[in-house]
Amino acid sequence: MTAGERRDHGRFDVVLEQFERHLRLERDLSPHTVRAYRGDVTALITHLTTAGQTDLSGLDITALRDWLGDQHQAGRSRATLARRTACARVFTAFCHRRGWLANDPGLLLGTAKAERRLPKVLDQTEAGAVLDAPAPDEPKDLRDRAMLELLYATGMRVSELCGLDVDDVDRDRNTVRVMGKGRRERTVPFGLPALRALDAWCVRGRPLWVREGSGPALFLGVRGGRVDQGTVRRVVHARLAQVEGAPDMGPHGLRHTAATHLLEGGADLRSVQELLGHASLATTQIYTHVSIERLRAAYRQAHPRA
């Protein structure tokens, strides 16, 4: 690539378009991650243009640190700063490989670690109250119960739930095929309550909502299309609001709850990792801390010399 071509291809608009394509097609990241990374790079480009830069020639370690420093001063959370640092590394490495940067300044960035807060979880009594609440035998109620049961039974992500097709459920083996992050497929077992709820939805609910364009989607919206994540979140929040004392949480809270209850019931960490689809065991280990904290709380409440 000639110097003139580098200058042309180093234009911000071209770079941003090519980077997004790289994330989608080469790294195969989820649409949510692609949007987040595109937003981060857009913020970085805005920082460079405010400083008078018109291309990538001014992107060095000083510019990166200035940008992240501005983010810190603006009150961004540690999680946001950690993600933007990771994104900056991916972006500068990509630009260096393309020949748009003579060297990779992202290699000089320190590691920003996100603060790890213990997630909110339901105790087993609260979980039972959420799942066993009486409901009419209408399609919406049958669908909502089936979604809640499956979220808690498998610990799957809301995006994974929405992406399920009818054929992903194996009723003979009580398992569901889940397509996770990075298109990694896994098979997750579930229990009889989830099976009964799924059967009720598929026999008495789903046929009433199926339309010509419904396709193989397991869970449908009222208009017959595949259910969306916003609908699932509203269902979870609404059901939790009906249980006195239950913390307000979304579908990810049910994922946390499922993992915590599995560990409390004696499941080993590696098995929980496989069930949840975590790429790293370190991600799963936070649930051991949740279980320990709950044990400490029970001890403090029950032991006379706690």
* pLDDT computed for residue 173 by the predictor: 93
pLDDT-derived band at 4, boundaries 50, 70, 90: very low
**Is pLDDT of 29 > 90?**
no
Residue type, 223: R
* pLDDT computed for residue 254 by the predictor: 93
* pLDDT computed for residue 2 by the predictor: 43
Residue 179, beta-bridge partner list? 185
- Give the Cα separation of 74 and 97 in Å (integer): 32
**Is pLDDT of 22 > 70?**
yes
pLDDT-derived band at 305, boundaries 50, 70, 90: low
- Give the Cα separation of 212 and 155 in Å (integer): 31
- Give the Cα separation of 101 and 22 in Å (integer): 16
- 173 backbone dihedrals φ, ψ, rounded to 5°: -105, -5
* pLDDT computed for residue 306 by the predictor: 54
**Is pLDDT of 219 > 70?**
yes
Q: CA of 21: how far to CAs of 13, 16, 97, in Å?
A: 13, 9, 15
Tokens for 135, please give them. 């409901």
pLDDT in tens, 142-164: 999 999 999 999 999 999 999 99
List, by residue number, the catalytic residues. Answer: 157, 181, 252, 255, 278, 287
Contact present, 110 and 65 (Cβ < 8 Å): no
* pLDDT computed for residue 97 by the predictor: 93
* pLDDT computed for residue 7 by the predictor: 45
Angle (CA) 45 49 51, round 5°: 120
pLDDT in tens, 88-113: 999 999 999 999 999 999 999 876 66
Closest by alpha carbon to 188, among 219, 149, 236, 150?
150
pLDDT in tens, 239-290: 999 998 888 899 999 999 999 898 888 888 888 898 898 888 777 777 777 6
pLDDT-derived band at 190, boundaries 50, 70, 90: very high
**Pairing verdict, β 175-179 and 185-189:** antiparallel
- Please report, rounded to a whole number, the percentage of residues in the chain having pLDDT higher than 90: 55
Average pLDDT, the chain: 87
Q: Which of 206-210, 214-218, 272-276 has the lowest mean pLDDT?
A: 272-276
Specify the higher pLDDT residue, 306 or 51.
51
